[in-house]
Amino acid sequence: MIDFETCVSDVMQPLERFVKFRIGNLQDAEDVLQEVLVAAYRGTETLSDEILFKPWILGIARNKCNDYFRGKAKRMEIPLESLDENVLTTGIHGVTTRTVVRETLDLLGDTDRQILYLFYFRDLPQAEIARRLGVPVGTVKSRLFHAKQHFKELYPYESKGVEMMKNRKRMPEYLPDYQIKEADGEPFAVCWEELMGWFIVPKPGESISWAMYDFPKRKRTEQCDMKVVGKAEVHGIEGVEIEAVEYDPMDCNRIEDADVSERRFVAQLTDTHSRYLAESHIEDGVKKLYTFLDGDDFLLNWGFGENNCGNETHIAPKGLIKKHGSVVTTAKRPFMLDVVGRYEVTINGKSYDTICVIDAGATGAYEEGVVSEQYLDRNGRTILWRRFNRDDWMIERYKRPWTELLPENERLTVDGETYVHWYDCMTDYIL
């Protein structure tokens, strides 16, 4: 049984910072904090390990803060499904852009936007707004009424995201059937220049579209269109800038109901490695930029290899990872990415001679508890990418092991532990 008081004492300082930074009104923040503690106390019995307490209670705090802002959205007569929590995360697969609500506010005049901000977002009473603006309370009431009317006339409108969605190249709605068979002959070496996890080669003129497909339904859950838009330099290191637009993110990547997100990368391709130098996105109207010098804020999401050297471009079997059928064994060393065999992949009516590259996940490109299989042809391009989750991966979020969540899906045994197939990725390279 977890010692609730001890656990709370250990995390109280970061918990208070989290809630009070999210909610500017101190009294409201204290009320939300009490709601968090009550909810956590009632749910403590569902937690089996004290080491999970901090991320678990911060998740409760995030949800309670969202509930607080949803309440404010109701007062603004904005449909709840359109409200973004406006706290964005950077990661290999997703970050939201501005919501339709935020974009609608941007279309209003300065006077309307000011009065709505003071009343709904700063939570100031009308008398205080009148004092700050130097106008009578009656004028505040009148401005507030007209601002709400103007907002409702513009909302909802066809957002930038909807416009971008009209122009995109659509990947198939369902992943074609495929077969993977071990092939005769030794695995071949390839020059693999794609960026880890995003499939684009960071060279001028390159572009690609790719999609994620869940299993067992095989339905498209997310699509990303990418293109290199020009040269760029970060801290004196030259590379290229890449524009990425993600549509219909799958549930694990979605933040509230945002259907389209944009980000920019700066990436570098050398004779030996392909790596990220920087990532940027819009967060609540402010452009955020993370570079390879920003420590864990960058490295945990975009770094790979020792000292963020990136993924090797010239790959051949090293003997660090071995695969026999559905059994994988590893040398349990940092940054384990290795060629494990030669396979014939038949998909979309075509057969490809490929090598299988496995990232063992523990200290590789993705977080612990994740394994990926990537099938590359002789050009070093991805034919198929497959993801597997360790049975207990993110169990605090999903509440059940993956063998229960996806009982029909394929399984791997990696160093004696069970991993379950989650989703695949396919690019327009093979269409």
pLDDT band at 261 (very low <50, low <70, confident <90, very high): confident
Mean pLDDT along residues 216-233: 91
Please report whether residue 249 resides in a domain: yes
Same domain flag for 71 and 207: no
Confidence (pTM)? 0.62
Predicted local distance difference test score (pLDDT) of residue 79: 41
Q: What is the mean pLDDT of the chain?
A: 81
- According to DSSP, residue 394 is labeled T
221, 353: one domain: yes
pLDDT tens digits for 41-94?
Answer: 888 887 777 877 888 888 888 888 878 876 665 555 444 333 343 332 233 333
Q: What is the pLDDT of residues 373-400, one digit of tens each?
A: 999 999 999 999 999 999 998 888 888 9
The confidence score (pLDDT) of residue 90 equals 31
Q: What is the identity of the amino acid at 74?
A: K
CATH number assigned to the domain comprising residue 36: 1.10.1740.10
* 126 Cα distance to chain centroid: 39
In a domain, 400, yes or no: yes
Judge if 143 and 186 occupy the same domain. no
Tokens of residue 324, six digits: 């026999």
**Beta carbons of 314 and 191 less than 8 angstroms apart:** yes
* Each residue's pLDDT tens digit, 171-209: 899 999 999 999 999 999 999 999 988 999 999 999 999
Per-residue pLDDT tens digits for 148-178: 888 777 765 544 444 544 455 678 999 999 9
Computed over its alpha carbons, how large is the radius of gyration of the chain?
Answer: 24
Residues 243 and 287 in one domain: yes
Q: Record the tokens describing residue 114, joined without a space.
A: 């000011």
* Other Cβ atoms within 10 Å of 207 Cβ, number: 15
Residue 89: predicted pLDDT: 29
If asked whether residues 203 and 269 sit together in one domain, one would say yes
Q: Which domain holds residue 288?
A: 178-430
Shared domain check, 186 and 139: no
CATH assignment of the domain containing 143: 1.10.10.10
Question: Which range has the worst mean pLDDT, 290-304, 306-320, 350-364, 398-412?
Answer: 290-304
17 and 145 co-located in one domain: no
Tally the domains of the chain. Answer: 3
Same domain for 46 and 146, yes or no, is no
Say whether both 116 and 63 belong to one domain: no
Claim to verify: residue 128 and residue 239 sit in the same structural domain: no
> What band does 250 get if pLDDT is binned at 50, 70 and 90?
low
For residue 258, name the pLDDT band (cuts at 50, 70, 90): low
Per the omega criterion (within 30 degrees of 0), is the bond before 216 cis? yes
Nearest-CA neighbor of 224 among 232, 215, 213? Answer: 213
